[in-house]
Structure 1
Amino acid sequence: MAERSDGLAGAGLGLRRALLGPLLSAENPQADFLEVAPENWIGVGGRLGRQFRELAARQPMVLHGLSLDIGGPDALDTNLVKAVRALMQDIGASLYTEHLTYCAADGHLYDLLPIPFTEEAVTHVVERVQRVQDIIGEPIALENASYYAQPHADMSEAEFITSVVRRAGCDLLLDVNNIYVNSINHSYSPYEFLQALPLDRVRYIHVAGHYDEAPDLKVDTHGTSVIAPVWSLLVEAYSLLGPLPTLLERDFNLPPLPELLLEVEQIRQLQHTARAVLPGRAHG
């Protein structure tokens, strides 16, 4: 896809509060960009707020939301979206992303649940995305989600994602771990699924670890290291897209920063290899 002037390049890391001190203590940026959940930082002041803004002044940040409920039946939380826009302006964040899921029904459910793959759901989500984009003032990106049961489907998952992205005019946050998890849990080829997505709309990529509940059940925890099949799927994504900016997600069981940075460096090495193979498609 076309280059964007959003400051995203290279290998990123999801920011958790436990990483604030280590990242600020480092002499040089330890990741090329950082991703934060806006809900965790809206209205935060004091020492944490100062540290957060100091870090934001050092390197690019993007916002990855947890509670927009883009596919749910409740009224769209426009106050949240306005607060997100204010935070973006405050720290100079270049992008707001969310999950293509729902997470509320008469109140927050504290989980990311699958939307039915139907034309009615597409229309519902598209209208809400467009309202969000009107407030934010630019396209957002939606992440392909992991899920464990599907309530109803008149189209495939890839067709659903493509319809939403095309009609809403938004972008795609490509999560290769979610593709792998879903491919095991729902018995399909992750490579065929990847190729069926609207790849020209991919803004950046997520890679993460997951939990093996059983041979045929993977749980998207972001609590372990990335495994070899997920790295391989990332390499395939680079072969199709070029080495787009890619972020390591780690939410739980956080190891010391140097250990996390080994995986960030692995992303960089895969990007370097992809640039050498596809020089005409080099990104970031």
Structure 2
Amino acid sequence: MQSGITSTPTLPQVGLGLRREMLAEFCLNTPNEIEFFEVAPENWMTLGGKYGRQFAKLTEQHPFFCHGLSLSIGSPAVLDVNFVKSVKSFLDLHQIDIYSEHLSYCSGQGHMYDLMPIPFTQEAVMYVAKRIKQVEDILERPFILENVSFYAAPGAQMSEQEFVNAVLCEADCQLLLDINNIYVNSINHQYDPYAFLAAMPTARIQYLHIAGHYEEAVDLRIDTHGADVIEPVWQLLQACYQLHGVHPTLLERDFNIPKTEVLLTEINRIHQYQRSAKHEQLTLQSVSS
């Protein structure tokens, strides 16, 4: 098993979540601004025929990250080892090293089509960390855990911030920091998103997500990945680069997907913020030396 904090090769910096309807276009031409793709392995592991060939072509030509949906790391049910082995085979086949999942669960007596919050307790910390290590042993890759959006916190004995950090520390794993989820949770649960951001462990951050969401009410946001990124989330992303340095950043768009040239507007905005943050860091280094 590999430790959660390790040196990694230089990663591509700006990516896009790949959807099946994008395959034909990107097989013909992938804009240079899109430096990597991310997919949910569950949606692609059994894909054959034309789609399977197109997907294989893209994985041969571009870096890919995998972001799972149904591992259910916090489930009370026994870990589905056969599923994890299937994910490993998929990662090996397409030579994908980056695998992340949600700090949540989606199964119990059966499989649910939603991500449920794990109780924020010390018992849950130990339970989840043990399962993460089991998954790492099977995958032979570092496990990357994403902070999730949630709408209730049953049985909480600690804050979300404390729980996320405790799991990362106990499991010694890496972090996929979702900027939009921080913002959504800060509205729904009334906390300071910048304080939460500052409390995240820089050394464990592997990459970032940014996305749009739905405003149900002034005090209720729903994480949908179906709209443009809003200004407060862009501002939080910039703050993240300033606090934690520039990390690979993926734009998520799961539905209401516009044409590529529209998506590239947001992709290029990420590039712009990354360049500005890097320039600022170099300037500060130059002044301090």
Q: TM-score, normalised to structure 2's length? A: 0.94
Letter in 1 for 2:52: G
Aligned to 2:212: 209
1:181–1:198 distance in 2 versus 1, CA, 3 Å: same
Distance in 1 (alpha carbons) for counterparts of 2:133 and 2:226: 33
Mapped to 1, the partners of 2:88 and 2:265 lie a distance apart of: 33
Query: How far apart in 2 are the matches of 1:68 and 1:281?
Result: 42
Identity level (%): 51
- Deviation of the 1:30 alpha carbon: 4.6
Residues 97, 141 of structure 2: 8 Å contact kept: no
| Matching residue's letter, 1:227 | I
Which residue in 2 is equivalent to 1:14?
17
Residue equivalent to 1:157: 160
CA distance in 1, matches of 2:219, 2:178: 20
> What are the ranges of 5 or more consecutive residues in structure 2 without an aligned counterpart?
none
Instruction: Please name the residue that 1:4 is paired with.
Output: 8
- Alignment partners' CA distance in 2, 1:41 and 1:212: 31
Instruction: Report the 3-state secondary structure (helix = DSSP H, G, I; strand = E; otherwise coil) of the residue aligned with 1:72.
Output: coil
CA 1:16/1:127 → structure 2, altered by over 3 Å: closer, same or farther?
Answer: same
Question: Where does residue 148 of structure 1 map in the other structure?
Answer: 151
Deviation at 1:153, TM superposition (A): 1.2
Q: Which residue of 1 aligns with 2:93?
A: 90
Shift of 1:138: 2.1
Aligned pairs for 1:103-252 (under 5 A) are: 103-252=106-255
- Please say if 1:259 is aligned against 2:237: no
Report the Cα offset of residue 281 of structure 1.
9.9
| Gap regions ≥5 residues in structure 1 | none
Structure 1 residue 74 corresponds to structure 2 residue 77: yes
Deviation at 1:279, TM superposition (A): 2.4
Q: Alignment partner of 1:31: what SS?
A: coil
Give 4+ residue runs of structure 1 displaced > 6 Å after superposition: none
Over residues 206-253 of structure 1, what are the superposed CA-to-partner deviations in whole Å (9 max), with x where a residue is unaligned? 000000000100000000000000000000000011111100000011
Tell me how far apart the structure 2 counterparts of residues 208 and 16 of structure 1 sit (CA, whole Å).
Answer: 15
The secondary structure found in structure 2 opposite 1:161 is: helix
1:135-190 deviations in whole A, cap 9, x for unaligned? 01121101000001111211111111111111111100000000000000000000
Note closer, same or farther for the CA distance 1:12–1:3 as it changes in structure 2 (3 Å cut). farther
TM-score by length of 1: 0.95
Instruction: Look up the SS of the partner of 2:239 in the other structure.
Output: helix
Aligned CA RMSD, in angstroms, stands at 1.6
Aligned partners of 1:71 and 1:101 also within 8 Å:
yes
